[in-house]
Structure 1
Amino acid sequence: MRRTFGDTLGWSETGTGLLLGTAAGWGEEQYLAPSGLPGWTRKHLVAHVAANADALGNLVHWAATGEKTPMYASPQQRDADIEAGSRKPAAELAAWLTSSAERLAAGIAGLDDDQWNAEVVTAQGRTVPATEIPWLRSREVCVHAVDLASGVAFADLPAGFLTALADDIVAKRGGAAGPAAVLVATDTGDRWELPGEGEPAAVEGPLADVAAYLAGRPHSLSGRALPALPAWL
């Protein structure tokens, strides 16, 4: 694993600042514009990020108190929260985005060493130590800052985060059916093998483009029979 707990705390703060700064001052017109995710406006995306902060706050509460507090009551509740958030006025949605991020940051700052080692369960049903919470948040704020489609690119994200993101995606995508690929970041020398069907496609390019490709986002890579990947997150 090429990331530390300290790394993820820093990336969570960096990504949160980048996302909040990008959306700062938006009115209805900007919020109603399409995001980088098909079928979602920026309102949908911001509602998702705000709801995610509240959901991860539930895991912080679980770690702090020992009281079992799932991220979401159900997948249906998660979807309903996003849809309801997408109908909020711009000012109300912006306030939720900011206040939810502040509540999560305060909760994280309040955990002690024993609480950080407490086990919690993610929305996907994985049992993990609470130290994974900042990583889960890092992925959301960093990747979705790009998905706001307002000028932030994968190249603007920390290189260490991009490497850790690629590691994470390959580990999870490797268990799914799909075409095989070998990916090389030409600027860092990092290499990933994506298991799959058929002769592996050779994919080379800058780290930012490799991470964007793995995340199913727009990129500038080219290669033999470059397989398309669905959106990650």
Structure 2
Amino acid sequence: MTDHARDLESVREATGRLLAAAAALDNAAVTQPSRLPGWSRGHVLAHLSRNADAFVNVLDGRPMYVSDADRDADIARDAARPLPEHLADLRASTARMERAAVLTTDWTRTVELRNGVTDTAARLPFRRWAEVELHHVDLDTGYELEHLPEEFTEREIGFLAARFAGRTDVPATRLTDTTRAWTTGEEAADPAIVVTGARAGLLGWLAGRRAGDGLSVTGGELPALPPL
């Protein structure tokens, strides 16, 4: 069972780590490229702030974003701001999300996210945790996939493996770090393709952050995954 209160605390801790890393930058560094193609570090920080507000919208029963075009325009508008404005915005938007969570009484209800995706309200804190952790890596400040909390890495591998499960454009695949296994892609009782590696490598591949570095593949080639 998802423990939304515990996940909210994990979000606070992860946000604190990210804010500390971002605070060590300067205005020039904010304009430099992040690890996400076409995005500066400022784009990443702006997205995290607007994403926190988007989760407030979901918790309050409103659409997550007005539209994809508005979402992209807001990020582009805010990306070039000076670092202090980014930090203040992220702190304020995080506080708004925390207040919305405190006011939420029904965590069992179904909520709608982007592109018609639905989930239970109790899973929203974990989704936000994933945004903060993975985008912290994207900032390229020295925080790597290997530095992610073990609990988060294991849960996010399971989350992403389930996200691609049943897709006909992803061959049936078994993932393992030799201690635990997950399956993804087309349904099959015994997937022919087996991908083995450290959890950070498995997560990097599933999340589109790595091309499969350090992973070994048997039974075929490393599958190409759809964008998240």
- In which range does the TM-score fall when normalised by the shorter chain? 0.7 to 0.9
Highest RCO, 1 vs 2 (Cα 8 Å, sep ≥ 6): 1
Q: Letter of the aligned partner of 2:223 in structure 1?
A: P
**Superposed displacement of residue 141, structure 1:** 0.5
**Superposed displacement of residue 164, structure 1:** 1.4
**Percent sequence identity over matched residues?**
35
Q: Letter of the aligned partner of 2:80 in structure 1?
A: R
Deviations 1:175-215 (A, max 9, x none): 331344221013xx110122249974322122222111211
**Superposed displacement of residue 221, structure 1:** 1.9
**Structure 2 unmatched runs, 5+:** none
DSSP 3-state at the match of 2:193: strand
**Superposed displacement of residue 54, structure 1:** 0.7
Paired with 1:132 and 1:226, the residues of 2 have a C-alpha distance of 29
**Superposed displacement of residue 135, structure 1:** 1.5
Paired with 2:91 and 2:116, the residues of 1 have a C-alpha distance of 27
Please list, as runs of the form range in 1=range in 2, the aligned pairs for 1:87-106 lying within 5 A after superposition: 87-106=80-99
- Structure 1 partner of 2:222: 226
Partners of 2:35 and 2:140 within 8 A in 1: yes
Partners of 1:216 and 1:228 within 8 A in 2: no
Paired with 2:23 and 2:141, the residues of 1 have a C-alpha distance of 11
Q: TM-score, normalised by structure 2?
A: 0.86
Distance 1:22 1:220, change over 3 A: farther
Distance 1:127 1:201, change over 3 A: closer
Distance 1:14 1:228, change over 3 A: farther
Q: Letter of the aligned partner of 2:124 in structure 1?
A: I
DSSP 3-state at the match of 1:192: strand
- Structure 2 partner of 1:66: none
**Superposed displacement of residue 230, structure 1:** 5.1
Worse overlay, 221-230 or 91-100 = 221-230
Paired with 2:227 and 2:138, the residues of 1 have a C-alpha distance of 11
Paired with 1:181 and 1:139, the residues of 2 have a C-alpha distance of 23
Partners of 1:19 and 1:141 within 8 A in 2: yes
**Structure 1 unmatched runs, 5+:** 63-68
Partners of 1:11 and 1:158 within 8 A in 2: no
- Structure 2 partner of 1:191: 181
Paired with 1:110 and 1:221, the residues of 2 have a C-alpha distance of 44
- Structure 2 partner of 1:33: 32
Q: Letter of the aligned partner of 2:17 in structure 1?
A: L
Deviations 1:98-145 (A, max 9, x none): 211122123223333xx3234421123233332122022111001111
Distance 1:200 1:24, change over 3 A: farther
